[in-house]
Structure 1
Amino acid sequence: MTAMTLTFDAVSEATPGPKWAARWARSWPAYEPWFVARGGDAGPSRAECRSAIADHMPELLATYDRLCALAGGGDRAARFLSTWCPPQYLGGCSLAALSDGTDVRLVRNYDLSPDLNEGLMLHTAWTGRRVMGMVEFLWGLSDGINDAGLSIALAYGGRTQTGRGFGITTILRYVLETCDTVEQALAVLDRVPSHMAYNVVIADAGGDTASVELSPGGGARRMPQAIATNHQSDGSQPDRPAFTRTHERHGHLRGLRAAPRTLSHHFRRAPLLQDRYTAGFGTLFTAAYDPRALTLELTLPEGTWSQSLDDFRDGQRVVTYLSGTADDVGKGQPDWTAAARIDWTQVANDYAAGQGRAIETYLPA
């Protein structure tokens, strides 16, 4: 078996400051060449990006400006942080929310390569509201909870089509910064456009749950159950369905009978649990949110890390992942374990010269 590691950090910082700036300094050297190589410099101008936030998410504008300043004030960093019409990015994930009148839970599996996740659990009060969740793109969220008990999580919608909109992780941040209930969150998701197809599951402290499918460029379709994997119901063909097993996982969730408090245990078993880390599709963590207790239980291969909005503790965990199907590599799927050895400067130079190739071709042998 092949072993891979990922370091998880838990960080609390009420307002953007030195802790966030340190994280930016650590992560931007990897993000910048990715952004350039994926065509980020050909995207909207800095002014257009800031204007999009002012138009769609005005409550986040002051936070965005503060983060840009902490990032050094550069043009490229500001456009990256806006996530307005960003480059494509993909992922996996299974989601479900359950409520029985007494308990409510939102649970997600995050499925990807350990090389491609930030491993950052962030606790903030950037707009005066406390928010806790798992970070992507330095300030967006793949899942999280706020002090009203509203919980939310995303899953890739299965197709690479793009439209004019925001990166979904910034939209989730905005929902948690401004909404108290599922109904309020749904209104935001109707209004704020996503740049790609994503599936979102929501739960609140009152026991309401919902699932929506977001379309590239805007539009949100309500779904009958608060579950999601990596395809949508519009008849579109999902990306690599046999590899992601999206239909199998969705069918399992449709038929699942569980109490909210035991939901996370089902996510740690097949077919929801994935172990193909060397092929880029393994469950990095299971996040279980309790909207009433305002807690997060992050289940990792080596145990559970419990956090609370009321009693958040900074800390670090180094996690080892063992791939159960290493021979998936080489069967049409890139071995993303080598991504850390890509010469990203060369990638950026090639794209600048109009000689860019698919990122997979830069993977070292």
Structure 2
Amino acid sequence: MTDRKPCHLCERDDIVLRIEQLTVNFTVGKQTVQAVTDVSFDVARGETLGLVGESGCGKSTVGRAIMQLPPPTSGGVFFRKQDLTELHGEALRQTRTGLQMIFQDPISSLNPRRRVRDIVAEGLTIWGRDNAAERVAEVMDAVGLDADSAGDRRPHQFSGGQCQRICIARSLALDPDVLICDEPVSALDVSVQAQILNLLEDMKARYHLTMVFVAHNLAVVKNISDRVAVMYLGKLCEIGNTDSIYSHPAHPYTHALLSSIPDADPLAREQNSIDDAPLLQGDLPAPTDPPSGCRFRTRCPHAQARCAEEVPLMQAVGDDHYVACHFPLR
């Protein structure tokens, strides 16, 4: 997929983050792992884009590539209309303060030797910001932590959920525009996940954030995202409004993913047409040697000869709903 305009958002003036033909390759021995290939999407100011797919599909790599950790192999990452891939040194450091990232494992992403107050204040200290102590107290209070009682403690003295609150406070300290959330609740107990998700929603409203929410839990993504992008084996296969994708998926892979969501109400599940999706067959192909044409064709029940010969491009199937499939379901 190489279409540089994946959706009508490209025509809008409020696009804060634009990804164009992003490609990330890694060298492992003598082989090249094609982690992400020609991924393009836009994120409008104030919205949350959910990025979903199976483990290993490249969604976390996209999040890290946006932050230039590491820089992508090719493609553009436009933030405030500046291409981060063309910035280096001090220019990149200054521009990147507007983007912050929350990592999957909150405990391992915090320095165990440092006090919480110093962890949250690190960015402010590096940039010499005034009133750092007041800002630390403000963001810690915003995430539900008392700066006086918690500030002098160290990460090992907190639970996983509390550590994630610390990570969120750290990411908010520099007042970013965009927050990249890399599976921020997958390492937490189910009882704590809802608290963190509600907190992220509150912080989004309070600090006027734009979010890219990376996750493999489709139920979580549905509750927090305005739009959803679905990835398979390093490529984007569907993107659109959350309600449209969840009610009428157009890509067979998205259809299969949604049918796998457990439903506590068996009667409701019987009435859900998505449940008639066939189970995926076969194993996930190796990213070192992806299939020709459509990468999903080796597991797709609707695959035909064209799927092996041509790479599907994004096409509109509805209002703010696009799919990369030769034979979409709608």
For normalisation by structure 1, the TM-score amounts to 0.27
Larger Rg: 2
For normalisation by structure 2, the TM-score amounts to 0.29
